[in-house]
């Protein structure tokens, strides 16, 4: 019989994390991540989690402690959000360059000022170049599956990179949805034991991270890039295996929805992408040939897949982030993927900043505006001048 | 433990990139002798990160993990937990940081780690400046000292880091000096035998930073203790014990040398003597030293 849990994204993330049996969790509370930390603490009390939970004094220390623990060759997990993620920034680079497969949930939340705890993806988008693999989830089931898959992916020796699992504040973090939970044995069999690339060990007294000359440093950077390319190949394998075993497929680098005959394809991430499915169903009933390509991995970026999609359809990008001085980050990335490979029409929307609601009706409206309107680089959807 | 009984194990190998007369390598030799080879060391940004030598080589015969400037204590918390979860409970975890990484940028992570009673030894080798970046002021720089960011001499007192550490109810804390290897050895050895967080601070006179000849490192440390610019003590079970000459100074069984006897040899205080004597600042430095010792006496005698 299937074990269905109905709970919040955060609880399900915590459940997945403890089922992966990390030896060390180090975390610091921040809204809306707090209930992940609280759930892990409760799993310690109940005996469900037997690892070490270090309640550190900041997110910077949370990531530093995960790095320290991972460097001894054990599995580590943490969770954060928004300012917490930004405070970690230096150590995000450190974890990736050290090739330590720390797994972290980041609950996408607005960056201040002013204080605002709702959904917005500028926090994780601004960590794009840290070397972390970045997933964006759109359901609680996907959060569970991706957390487990993240350990498998990051710990693979051809990858050996930290993995960030992003999901939107409240829309997922605090909303109860059903998720099928495999047995502990199934998870154990899936993950196996972590075999690190390197570790601090008195039996092998190496010095890690000392001064390095340009030629060696460049080699390390190149190896990270190669690892991302390896991840691109490995993610579809892992998700396929998962599908074979558990009968669930959330997509690999991309989740495609009704793309086969589509003349226009929406590209979005996270909760907006989930909402887009409803919009697409509605538009299809009206006779529009539209599909969705939900970007699951922002890093590595699915360039090749996007080029393939562009051969048959125009693209509409919805960004819940803004790289000020330019445009939405996904919009930039998509256009970069298409350079000299496709001259398809690409429209970019900025929507849902500051946690502004983006409903399927809004998405339908964006689509209709896009196909009727003139090509415009970036459209701030529903932007209104509000009085102070 | 007499110096002849200190083990001859060497974990600082040849080929280090330290300056001649470097107190950090001197101290590390003794520290490793006390800790033994079943040790993992966490090093943030500091001179030691350079001393280690260039990748892919190292001058240390124990495993070392470098970490970001402010992250030594947090990184050590992770290392300790990771080793413990694998049943490697007999490995000593030591964080080795400079005064910048301890007094200033690393104080938050250090406070957190001690408050959580992380089972590790945190050692601060204190040369009273950011020496690795080229001699800038730190929270440990004493009043009057020239640095590249206190060009006319520092106008503020240094922090009393020991007071801050003791406020954490730490099981063991100590101050020592590179000039007293037996004292250093014994304190590290004792720290190793105690469970929970341990903090040791080593005064580390830096020839290029303090502007004195490289053969005078030991002498500069000895004079710091004899003038009372630095105190040797241990704090165990909430109780302070002063050691060696510092004990005699505390009990007034020995008269401290005037502070000038220490600072006059250091180019960083040269502006206090030439072209004219800065009597006001010299008096302030002496007065502040006396105040610290009066406070020690009122608290710990």
Q: For chain A, what are the domain ranges?
A: 4-246, 254-380
Is B38–A202 a contact, with Cβ atoms under 8 angstroms apart? yes
Instruction: Choose from A52, A65, A66 for mutation: most chain B CBs within 10 A.
Output: A65
Question: For B147, which DSSP code?
Answer: B
Residues of chain A with pLDDT > 90: what percent?
Answer: 95
B44 part of contact set with chain A, CB < 8 Å: no
- CA-CA distance, B4 to A38, in Å (whole number)? 54
**Could you tell me the two tokens for A11?**
């609880």
A209 part of contact set with chain B, CB < 8 Å: yes
From the list B65, B78, B83, the residue facing A65 with the nearest CB is B78
Specify the pairing of strand A297-299 against strand A133-136.
antiparallel
Distance from CA of B160 to the nearest CA of A (A): 22
Could you tell me which of A268, A231, A273 has the C-alpha nearest to residue A347? A268
DSSP readout, A73-123?
T--EEEEEEHHHHHHHHHHHHHHHHTT---EEEEEE-PPSSSP--S--SHH
Distance from CA of B256 to the nearest CA of A (A): 41
Could you tell me which of A80, A103, A90 has the C-alpha nearest to residue A27? A80
Over range A199-206, report the average pLDDT. 96
Q: Which residues of A touch B77 (CB under 8 A)?
A: 26, 54, 56, 61, 64-65, 68
Any bridge partners for residue A5, and if so which?
Answer: A179
pLDDT band at residue A68 under the 50/70/90 scheme = very high
A71 part of contact set with chain B, CB < 8 Å: yes
Instruction: Choose from B74, B84, B95, B105 for mutation: most chain A CBs within 10 A.
Output: B74
- CA-CA distance, A317 to A350, in Å (whole number)? 8
Instruction: Choose from B78, B97, B105 for mutation: most chain A CBs within 10 A.
Output: B78
Is A54–B83 a contact, with Cβ atoms under 8 angstroms apart? no
Q: How far is CA A309 from the centre of its chain?
A: 21
Distance from CA of B38 to the nearest CA of A (A): 5
Distance from CA of A51 to the nearest CA of B (A): 7
Residue A175, burial from CB neighbour count under 10 angstroms (0-12, 13-18, 19+) = middle
Instruction: Choose from A66, A73, A100, A200 for mutation: most chain B CBs within 10 A.
Output: A200
Residue ranges of domains in chain B, CATH in brackets? 3-300 (3.40.50.970)
**Could you tell me the two tokens for A380?**
């701030």
* Closest-approach residue (CA) in chain B for A25: B78
Is B63–A70 a contact, with Cβ atoms under 8 angstroms apart? no
Question: What's the pLDDT tens digit per position in B184-223?
Answer: 999 999 999 999 999 999 999 999 999 999 999 999 999 9
Q: Which residues of A touch B80 (CB under 8 A)?
A: 68
A58 part of contact set with chain B, CB < 8 Å: yes
* Closest-approach residue (CA) in chain A for B62: A205
Q: Which residues of A touch B38 (CB under 8 A)?
A: 202
* Closest-approach residue (CA) in chain A for B57: A207
Q: Which residues of B touch A211 (CB under 8 A)?
A: 17, 49-50, 52-55
B168 part of contact set with chain A, CB < 8 Å: no
CA angle B268, B272, B273 (to 5 degrees): 105
Q: Do the domains A4-246 and A254-380 sit in the same CATH topology, yes or no?
A: yes
DSSP readout, A123-168?
HHHTTGGGS-EEEE--SHHHHHHHHHHHHHHHHSTTT---EEEEEE
DSSP H or E run through B198? strand B197-203
A207 part of contact set with chain B, CB < 8 Å: yes
Question: What's the pLDDT tens digit per position in A222-276?
Answer: 999 999 999 999 999 999 999 999 999 999 999 999 999 999 999 999 999 999 9
Is B54–A211 a contact, with Cβ atoms under 8 angstroms apart? yes
Is A69–B81 a contact, with Cβ atoms under 8 angstroms apart? yes
Any bridge partners for residue A165, and if so which?
Answer: A105, A135
Question: What's the pLDDT tens digit per position in A167-187?
Answer: 999 999 999 999 999 999 999
A215 part of contact set with chain B, CB < 8 Å: no
**Could you tell me the two tokens for A80?**
């954060």
Is A209–B50 a contact, with Cβ atoms under 8 angstroms apart? no
DSSP H or E run through A179? strand A176-180
* Closest-approach residue (CA) in chain A for B72: A64
Question: What's the pLDDT tens digit per position in A125-151?
Answer: 999 999 999 999 999 999 999 999 999
Residues 228..247 of B with a Cβ closer than 8 Å to A: which?
A: none
Q: Which residues of A touch B64 (CB under 8 A)?
A: 200, 205-208, 210
A52 part of contact set with chain B, CB < 8 Å: yes
Long-range contact pairs involving B50-53 (C-beta distance under 8 Å, separation at least 24): B50/A211, B50/B17, B50/B18, B50/B132, B51/B16, B51/B17, B51/B18, B51/B22, B51/B24, B51/B25, B52/A207, B52/A210, B52/A211, B52/B16, B52/B17, B53/A210, B53/A211, B53/B15, B53/B16, B53/B17
Please tell me the predicted confidence (pLDDT) of residue B3.
87
Question: What's the pLDDT tens digit per position in B154-166?
Answer: 999 999 999 999 9
Over range B176-190, report the average pLDDT. 98
Average pLDDT, chain B: 97
CATH topology assigned to domain A254-380:
Rossmann fold (3.40.50)
Residues 73..102 of A with a Cβ closer than 8 Å to B: which?
A: 73-74, 76, 90-91, 94
What's the N-to-C CA distance of chain B in angstroms?
26
From the list A65, A70, A209, the residue facing B77 with the nearest CB is A65
- CA-CA distance, B25 to B50, in Å (whole number)? 11
pLDDT band at residue A386 under the 50/70/90 scheme = confident
- CA-CA distance, B213 to B205, in Å (whole number)? 11
Average pLDDT, chain A: 96
Could you tell me which of A133, A25, A117, A131 has the C-alpha nearest to residue A79? A25
Over range B5-18, report the average pLDDT. 93
Residues of chain A with pLDDT > 70: what percent?
Answer: 99
Question: What's the pLDDT tens digit per position in A29-52?
Answer: 999 999 999 999 999 999 999 999
Whether the per-residue pLDDT at B105 is higher than 70: the answer is yes
Please tell me the predicted confidence (pLDDT) of residue A375.
64
Please tell me the predicted confidence (pLDDT) of residue A374.
66
A51 part of contact set with chain B, CB < 8 Å: yes
pLDDT band at residue A106 under the 50/70/90 scheme = very high
Please tell me the predicted confidence (pLDDT) of residue A55.
97
* Residue pairs spanning A and B at CB distance below 8 A: 166
Whether the per-residue pLDDT at A305 is higher than 90: the answer is yes
Q: Which residue has the tokens 């063991």?
A: B172
Question: For B5, which DSSP code?
Answer: G
Distance from CA of B8 to the nearest CA of A (A): 19
- CATH for A4-246 is 3.40.50.970
B275 part of contact set with chain A, CB < 8 Å: no
């Amino acid at each position: 019989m299937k074990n269905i849990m109905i709970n919040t994204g955060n609880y399900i993330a915590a459940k997945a994390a403890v089922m992966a049996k990390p030896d060390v969790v180090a975390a610091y509370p921040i809204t809306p991540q707090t209930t992940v930390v609280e759930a892990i603490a409760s799993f310690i009390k109940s005996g469900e989690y037997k690892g070490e939970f270090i309640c550190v004094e900041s997110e910077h220390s949370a990531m530093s402690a995960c790095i320290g623990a991972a460097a001894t060759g054990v599995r580590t997990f943490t969770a954060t959000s928004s300012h917490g993620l930004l405070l970690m920034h230096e150590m995000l680079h450190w974890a990736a360059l050290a090739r330590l497969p720390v797994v972290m949930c980041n609950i996408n939340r607005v960056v201040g000022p002013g204080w605002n705890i709702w959904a917005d993806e500028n926090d994780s988008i601004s960590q794009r170049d840290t070397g972390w693999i970045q997933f964006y989830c759109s359901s609680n089931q996907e959060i569970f599956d991706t957390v487990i898959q993240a350990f498998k992916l990051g710990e693979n020796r051809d990858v050996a990179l930290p993995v960030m699992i992003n999901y939107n504040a409240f829309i997922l973090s605090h909303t109860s949805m059903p998720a099928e939970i495999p047995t502990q044995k199934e998870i154990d069999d899936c993950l196996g034991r972590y075999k690190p690339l390197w570790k601090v060990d008195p039996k092998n007294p190496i010095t890690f991270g000392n001064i390095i000359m340009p030629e060696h440093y460049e080699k390390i950077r190149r190896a990270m890039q190669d690892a991302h390319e390896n991840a691109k190949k490995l993610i579809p394998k892992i998700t396929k295996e998962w599908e074979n075993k558990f009968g669930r497929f959330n997509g690999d680098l991309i989740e495609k929805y009704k793309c086969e005959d589509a003349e226009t394809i929406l590209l979005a991430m996270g909760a907006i992408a989930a909402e887009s499915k409803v919009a697409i169903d509605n538009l299809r009933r009206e006779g529009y040939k539209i599909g969705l390509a939900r970007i699951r991995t922002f890093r590595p970026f699915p360039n090749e897949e996007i080029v393939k999609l562009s051969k048959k359809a125009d693209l509409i990008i919805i960004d819940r982030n803004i790289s000020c001085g330019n445009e939405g980050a996904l919009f930039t990335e998509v256009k970069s993927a298409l350079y000299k490979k496709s001259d398809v029409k690409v429209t970019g929307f900025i929507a849902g900043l500051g946690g502004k609601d983006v409903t399927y009706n809004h998405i339908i409206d964006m689509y209709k505006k896009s196909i009727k309107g003139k090509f415009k680089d970036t459209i701030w959807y529903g932007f209104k001048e509000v009085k102070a | 433990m007499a110096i002849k009984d200190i083990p001859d194990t060497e974990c600082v190998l040849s080929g280090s990139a330290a300056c001649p007369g470097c107190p950090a390598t001197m101290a590390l030799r003794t520290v490793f002798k006390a800790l033994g080879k079943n040790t993992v060391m966490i090093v943030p940004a500091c001179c030691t990160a350079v001393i280690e030598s260039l990748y892919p080589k190292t001058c240390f015969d124990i495993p070392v993990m470098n970490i970001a400037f402010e992250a030594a204590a947090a990184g050590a918390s992770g290392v300790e937990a990771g080793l413990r979860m694998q049943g490697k409970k007999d490995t000593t975890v030591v964080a080795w940081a400079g005064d910048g990484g301890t007094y200033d940028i690393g104080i938050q992570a250090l406070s957190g780690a001690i408050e959580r009673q992380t089972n590790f030894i945190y050692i601060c080798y204190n040369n009273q400046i950011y020496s690795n970046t080229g001699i800038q002021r730190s929270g440990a720089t004493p009043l009057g000292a020239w640095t590249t960011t206190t060009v006319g001499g520092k106008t503020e007192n240094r922090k009393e880091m020991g007071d801050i550490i003791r406020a954490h109810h730490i099981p063991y804390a100590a101050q020592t000096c590179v000039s007293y290897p037996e004292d250093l050895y014994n304190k590290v050895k004792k720290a190793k035998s105690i469970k929970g967080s341990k903090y040791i601070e080593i005064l580390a006179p830096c020839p290029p930073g303090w502007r004195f000849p490289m053969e005078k490192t030991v002498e500069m440390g000895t004079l710091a203790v004899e003038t009372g610019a630095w105190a040797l003590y241990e704090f165990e079970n909430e109780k302070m014990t002063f050691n060696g000459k510092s004990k005699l100074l505390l009990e007034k069984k020995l008269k401290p040398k005037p502070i000038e006897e220490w600072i006059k040899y250091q180019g960083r205080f040269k502006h206090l003597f030439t072209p004219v004597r800065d009597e006001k600042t010299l008096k302030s430095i002496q007065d502040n030293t006396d105040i610290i010792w009066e406070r020690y006496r009122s608290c710990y005698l």
